[in-house]
Amino acid sequence: MSNGNLPEQIVFRIRRFSPGRDKEPVWKEYRVAYEAGMTVLDGLWRIKESIDPTLAWRASCRMGVCGSCGMLINGSAMLGCNTQISELASSVVSVAPLPNFPIVRDLVPDLQLLFDDHAALSPYIIRADSAEQENPTGEYYQTSKEMETYLQFTYCIKCACCMAACPTCATDALYSGPMALTQAHRYNTDTRDDGFEVRKQVLAGEAGPWRCHFAGECSRVCPKGVDPAKAIQFMKRQLVADALGLRKKRPLAPLLKKPEGIQRRPGIAEAPEPTVG
């Protein structure tokens, strides 16, 4: 369907369900006037403001940055704000909540499991010099080439689209899933980090990457091009090398102290004091 073939109205077929009130999900249809450039999220707002104020979903930035509006659109996990209706090749837009998660209401999934799995893999820099991290006196030096080894995996916005598309997540409650595993690999690859042994306690078990059979759906649906499937395969290689005693322990990024005698140019203000302790 091209822009020129779009009808004046778009049919939104939305899966509605309120746990504790409804016995089972139902599909309801709404007709919305189409305008050029309209996204799926725009259509949902039209429905809520003009047709049915009880419709619930989660959204925030409307710019493909926050990851809040992940939903199942015409059978594929996408961001509502990033999805142009003109690109769906259909005058019927089917919208359902992301699968593989409990439902809070309508299009709102409960993502607590995603965040629990993420937290379990220690998604932060771990080093022995904890005092330096609490009260920094300098910066850890890292080359641009070292940063490029993990930069792609930092673009994750925790939208859960990869988890919704993953067939292993659909059948294995113990599996950490592509989002958490990718972020674990992101830190294991960071030269400033020394937390591999800590994360290995989780990664070497049933929650780790071994349940992944490389369907690749997580990478296909990722709206930021993170490629979780690639990260998971790298992680498998790293864990096998470690088990065989072949993993080379890389040197940690050194701490660089602030050079002495540096003076701020006139007119440039000092950075404000931290607001979070």
Q: Which of 133, 76, 82 is nearest to 99 (CA)?
A: 76
pLDDT confidence tier of residue 2, bands split at 50, 70 and 90: very low
Domain limits for position 125:
112-243
CA distances from 33 to 23, 49, 50, 88, 256 (A): 32, 13, 11, 16, 59
Do 19 and 135 lie in one domain? The reply is: no
Supply the CATH number for residue 134's domain: 1.10.1060.10
Which residue among 109, 130, 164 closes a domain? 109
Token code pair at residue 218: 């997580």
- pTM to 2 decimal places: 0.90
Which residue among 57, 81, 109 closes a domain? 109
Residues 50-76 have a mean pLDDT of 97
- The yes-or-no verdict on residue 3 having pLDDT over 60 is no
Do 133 and 169 lie in one domain? The reply is: yes
Residue 147 dihedral angles phi and psi, to the nearest 5°: -65, -35
- The yes-or-no verdict on residue 7 having pLDDT over 80 is no
**DSSP string over 5-28:** G--SEEEEEEEE--TTT-SS-EEE
pLDDT confidence tier of residue 269, bands split at 50, 70 and 90: confident
In a domain, residue 176? The reply is: yes
For 91-107, write each residue's pLDDT tens digit. Answer: 899 999 999 999 999 99
Do 188 and 151 lie in one domain? The reply is: yes
Q: Yes or no: say if 133 and 74 are a contact pair by the CB < 8 Å rule.
A: no
Do 86 and 117 lie in one domain? The reply is: no
pLDDT (0 to 100) of residue 6: 63
For 170-186, write each residue's pLDDT tens digit. Answer: 999 999 999 999 999 99
Number of domains into which the chain is organized: 2
Do 143 and 81 lie in one domain? The reply is: no
Supply the CATH number for residue 94's domain: 3.10.20.30
